[in-house]
Amino acid sequence: MSNFVLLAKQITDEVIAPLAAEIDSARRFPEEGIRALGKAGLLGLLVPEQHGGLGGNLADLAAVTETIGAACGSTAMCFLMHSCATAVIASKATPEQQETYLRPIAQGEKLGTLAFSETGTGAHFYIPEIRAKREDDFFVLSGKKGFVTNGKRADFLIVLTNAAAAEQGLDMLIVDTDMPGVRFEGEWQGIGLSGNNSISLQLDNVKIPASGLVGAEGDGMGLIFQVVAPTFILGVAGVNAGIARGAYEAALRHAKTRTYADGRALADIQAIQFYLSDMFGAVEAASVYVQNAAKAALSGQADAIMHVMQSKIIASEHAIKVTNLAMQVCGGQGYTKALPVERYLRDARAGAVMAPTTEVLKEWVGKSVAGIPLF
Ligand SMILES: Cc1cc2nc3c(=O)[nH]c(=O)nc-3n(C[C@H](O)[C@H](O)[C@H](O)COP(=O)(O)OP(=O)(O)OC[C@H]3O[C@@H](n4cnc5c(N)ncnc54)[C@H](O)[C@@H]3O)c2cc1C
């Protein structure tokens, strides 16, 4: 285990795990866990060391999201979306952006997120409808984004938009949530990840200084594929490997401790042993695949992107399978809030429908293995 994972495990055991059930039932933001991660420097996991961060890489991110996800999917998602926003800034940060965002992030003082999704674009988040206008030294944004994890709690957003000049493609702009014209709406109504505060964002003539542009005009598409895609996909694959692991461990504990009048435990029953074997294998396969995909990406392996994409397919499918089996192992008790497996099952369902969704990824992986261009 790396030092980052040991640190994440300590915070998870001491702060995040004890609150996971209450955060789920109260449907509240995981304030304490995020604060503890910030205090330990982990909100700066992807901030380079020269800007005060931990200088972690994609394998570290996936391992940390798995560690947190094994206890609380909501906290893991909030941490992941913040880490994606951090990675975007870190990839192209100007000296001003380093001071305004990266240093405070490393000190646990700023929380970020991605505002990409729109109703009109759905799973195809890389084709936004919203377009920036250029007015002197400002970009002006109006429009609506959906599913903004960390919602009201974020200090800044990375907003994906069409560049002001149509031929320039896409831009990513850093928007501070206290800017005039930024408004969050509604409440998270999802069946799981109840604390992730993924809500709608309304932008009304928000004036963003030109210094809020990440990279150059038109860099948006490159940032999506070079930075956001590997960071989000490996991170969310880690979250789902973690959810699977958490459900498996909870079911195993229950199988060993739930006894019948004749003294036999659930774990003594062969049908349950088969389920435990299936779960154990699926958890390990997901975890190892995600780590190998991250290592392939880090070493610049030629087919790394295929493995990165496949890692989200595998981890989210395994999370659904394992959480489902965990409920089967735990029976009627697993269907109630007496055990955490019903929470894991609800949390596990999000991974496959989050963009890039399983269907979109399968199309891309299929094209890649067949040597057909993605677009
Ligand atoms: C818990 C949660 C947190 C989120 N957090 C964020 C966030 O922080 N920031 C953000 O920007 N977004 C976020 N999202 C949004 C998410 O990433 C997706 O963009 C969004 O869920 C798309 O939903 P939709 O219903 O519009 O999908 P739709 O586009 O309506 O898709 C519906 C189904 O059709 C399939 N489908 C669509 N097109 C194709 C195709 N061409 N080929 C094959 N199948 C296809 C999809 O795979 C899916 O199964 C979050 C979503 C969830 C669930």
d(CA 172, CA 148): 15
Percent of the chain with pLDDT over 90: 96
Model-wide pTM > 0.85:
yes
Per-residue pLDDT tens over the stretch 340-355: 999 999 999 999 999 9
Instruction: Quote the pLDDT of residue 316.
Output: 98
User: Ligand 1: distance of its center to the CA of 149 in Å?
Assistant: 13
Per-residue pLDDT tens over the stretch 227-284: 999 999 999 999 999 999 999 999 999 999 999 999 999 999 999 999 999 999 999 9
Looking at the CA of residue 119, tell me the nearest atom of ligand 1: 26
Query: At residue 125, does pLDDT exceed 90?
Result: no
User: Ligand 1: distance of its center to the CA of 353 in Å?
Assistant: 5
Is 66:287 a contact under the CB 8 Å cutoff? yes
d(CA 225, CA 368): 15
Task: Determine the residue type at 44.
Answer: G
Per-residue confidence at 375, pLDDT binned at 50, 70, 90? confident
Per-residue pLDDT tens over the stretch 141-199: 999 999 999 999 999 999 999 999 888 999 999 999 999 999 999 999 999 999 999 99
Query: At residue 203, does pLDDT exceed 90?
Result: yes
What is the length of the chain?
375
Per-residue confidence at 122, pLDDT binned at 50, 70, 90? confident
Among residues 334, 313, 284, the alpha carbon closest in space to that of 66 is found at 284
Of all protein residues, whose CA lies closest to atom 39 belonging to ligand 1? Answer: 360
Burial status of residue 166 (CB atoms within 10 A of its CB: 0-12, 13-18, 19 or more):
exposed
Among residues 41, 174, 60, 203, the alpha carbon closest in space to that of 113 is found at 174
Peptide bond into 95 cis (omega under 30): no
Instruction: Quote the pLDDT of residue 22.
Output: 98
Instruction: Quote the pLDDT of residue 126.
Output: 87
Of all protein residues, whose CA lies closest to atom 30 belonging to ligand 1? Answer: 122
The whole-number average pLDDT for the span 291-301 is 98
Instruction: Quote the pLDDT of residue 250.
Output: 98
List all residues whose CB is within 6 A of at least one atom of ligand 1.
81, 113-117, 122-123, 125, 147-149, 190, 193, 196, 198, 350, 353-355, 357, 359-360, 363
The whole-number average pLDDT for the span 347-370 is 97
Per-residue confidence at 1, pLDDT binned at 50, 70, 90? confident
Of all protein residues, whose CA lies closest to atom 1 belonging to ligand 1? Answer: 350
